[in-house]
Chain A
Amino acid sequence: MSSNIIAKASESIVEDLVFEDKVHKSLYSDAEIFEEELKKIFNGTWVWVAHESEVSEVGSFKTAMIGRSPVIVSRDRKKEIHVLLNRCRHRGATVCQGNHGKTRAFTCPYHGWGYALDGSLRALPKPEEYENLMDKADYGLVKLRHESYQGMIFATLNDEIEPLIDFLGGAKKWIDLFMKQGGGYPIKALGEHRFRFPGNWKIQLENTTDAYHFPIVHKSFISSVDDQTAEVFDFLDGEGYVEDLGNGHSVMVMIPELVDLDENLDDAIPERFADFAQALREEGFADDAVRKMVRAVGGGGFNLNLFPNIACSMAFFRNLVPVSVNETEIHHVALGGEGAPEIFNQTRMRLHEHFQGPMGFGTPDDGEAWERVQAGSMAGTDGWIMVNRGMSRLSTSVDGNVKGAVCSETGMRAAYRQYKKQMAVDIPVKEQADAHSK
């Protein structure tokens, strides 16, 4: 990587379209803006690609997208994780298909170039025709810089970017808290719902930090649960809050008593988990282990929105993948405990199915609202999307951050501030990528 490439400020296409209290509606539908976002947001920062448990064994892989780049997350024979561009170095074909799987190598279907799990080029048919033309060692799959925090793997096309740990900054504390929901076991991905909606990716980004919609859009979900649970989800008048964590990240605490799942283990067991607790006792688990699992099984009381594409949302990962300016794919990754009792993970999956995914009791109603935002935002030649809710009633959190009411739009403002900042900076083009792959 040459050191004379310095990120520089550029004429931003959104300079007059993003303000602290409002964003222009064209941000949802302008194809030119979308192209800039792919370059400056998705190719410019840390993008979440996988949880380590999704590639738990030697030979496990997962495919993902960074903007328009298909990538492979793999685990090699030494158990090292790699993030590789899914592009044969010969003529450009993808070398890995499917969402997840296990393999011994990545073989290009076109001319049979074979790559090892770490991306290195191992063999190719009739190599003599490359005599004096190339060195195999220089033609591995392009490796991307990647770093992990608490098992969450992020990768980037921007080699100049700050370390992941600095980018996450104030969000780290909340990731630590989120990872307590394994009930005493390490967090493990249990599967995922994938669906698309006809709308811009930022509509989903906003939604994860939007508590205001919950009692309206999710009325039918609330009606489907018992009274005690319905009360837990009736959080707009409670003590919840939204905190701006910097770098576009924010946390929305909806149920403050479920922030730290290691605390209040002596609380009464909620009615809806009584059968679950009884089943654990019958399996011979001691009272403290039962209480820990009961407290963890429903997930945490907050949504942590990490800019730009991942959220730790109560009990699952919400991963957004921009497809086009008006189409977005969402992955809802269900989480459980590695080595946890079967019934713990089964209960977690049943709770996930209840709300999330294409047939959940919550997601389809969110989807309808997002689709309507995309359609309605086309009305008129000019207009704004308001993100000023709660701006006159801000306070300072214990960590010294800007804090607003649970149903404020503090988290959206945090995301758009980072968005505007990144959209004004040219990203060094990764022309050195091929050399980097040695």
Chain B
Amino acid sequence: MPTQSELQTLAEVTAFLSKEADMLDHKEYEQWLDLWSDSGMYIVPIDHRETDYKNSLNVAYDDAEMRKMRTARLSSGEAVSTQEAVFTIRTLSRMRILGEEGGVVHARCAYCLYENKASGLRNYPANVEFKLRRDEGEFKIEEKVVRVMKSDQYLTTTCYLF
């Protein structure tokens, strides 16, 4: 049986990650940026087994500056791929707390992003891992790693964040 404190952490993490996904679906990028720690890294690897992200080519490897640039690009209206403002829906499930050390909670969940394109509905299942730092009663994201199914085969171009 999980302890009360473990259930409490699971509930806190689930609430936080649901909010994070909701912000991305509703393109609330300014608020989304505030969820991050300054040293946080947003990573979409190509090879699912890879852990040395810095020395590998990734689909995305964003520090704070890149996240800011990326969200600016997605919302500026300058990018032709974003002009149709594609509607996305993310679902999260199978939430599991992998551990907690030094105030950082390590969590993993199943995740699926649905995208409505003129050519049809596309979906991107993924395993997502988060490292969340407890910070004055809130979480700050230290690391988000999205292992998108098929990223090691081929993807299609995107105009949103996974």
Contacts and interface: CB of A to CB of B under 8 A. Distances in A.
Contact of A358 (B66, B119, B157): B157
B91 interface: no
Given A193-B46, A358-B156, 16 more contacts: A99-B153, A192-B57, A194-B155, A196-B155, A220-B78, A220-B82, A334-B57, A346-B54, A359-B158, A359-B161, A359-B162, A361-B69, A361-B73, A364-B81, A367-B81, A369-B80
Most buried by A among B61, B73, B80: B80
Contact of A368 (B57, B58, B78, B81): B81
Contacts, number: 95
A358 B73 CA distance: 14
Contacts of A224: 69, 72-73
6 contacts: A195-B155, A196-B156, A217-B80, A358-B155, A358-B158, A365-B79
A231 to B, nearest CB: 18
Contacts of B106: none
Interface string A107-122: 0000000000000000
Given A195-B154, A196-B154, A357 B59 contact: yes
A143 B70 CA distance: 46
A329 B57 contact: no
B60 A359 contact: yes
Contact of A194 (B153, B159, B162): B153
B55 interface: yes
Interface string A353-389: 1100111010111111101000100000000000000
Interface in A156-207: 190-198
Interface in A202-238: 217, 219-221, 223-224
Contact of A223 (B55, B66, B76, B157): B76
Interface residues of B, number: 33
B44 interface: yes
A410 B75 CA distance: 35
A315 B56 CA distance: 16
Interface string A313-340: 0000000000000000100001000000
Given A223-B76, A223-B78, A364-B79, A349 B56 contact: yes
B152 interface: yes
A265 B155 CA distance: 39
A65 to B, nearest CB: 12
Contacts of A366: 157
* In the complex, the 5 A-B pairs of residues with the closest C-beta atoms, listed nearest first: A191-B57, A367-B157, A220-B79, A364-B157, A220-B78
Given A220-B73, A369-B80, A197 B61 contact: no
A352 interface: yes
Given A220-B79, A361-B73, A368 B56 contact: no
Nearest to B162: A359
A345 interface: yes
A193 B157 CA distance: 11
A349 B57 contact: yes
A213 to B, nearest CB: 10
A368 B61 CA distance: 23
Contacts of A334: 57
A327 B96 CA distance: 38
Nearest to A367: B157
B59 A346 contact: no
A342 interface: yes
Contacts of B61: 349-350, 353
Given A350-B61, A357-B59, A194 B79 contact: no
B80 A197 contact: no
A191 to B, nearest CB: 3
Contacts of A349: 56-58, 61
Nearest to A329: B154
Contact of A353 (B57, B79, B80, B155): B57
A271 to B, nearest CB: 15
Given A224-B72, A353-B57, A365 B154 contact: no
Given A99-B152, A223-B78, A353-B61, A191 B56 contact: yes
A349 B60 CA distance: 10
Nearest to B68: A224
B157 to A, nearest CB: 4
B57 A352 contact: yes
Given A224-B73, A359-B158, A361-B73, A193 B57 contact: yes
A368 B153 contact: no
A180 to B, nearest CB: 21
B51 to A, nearest CB: 14
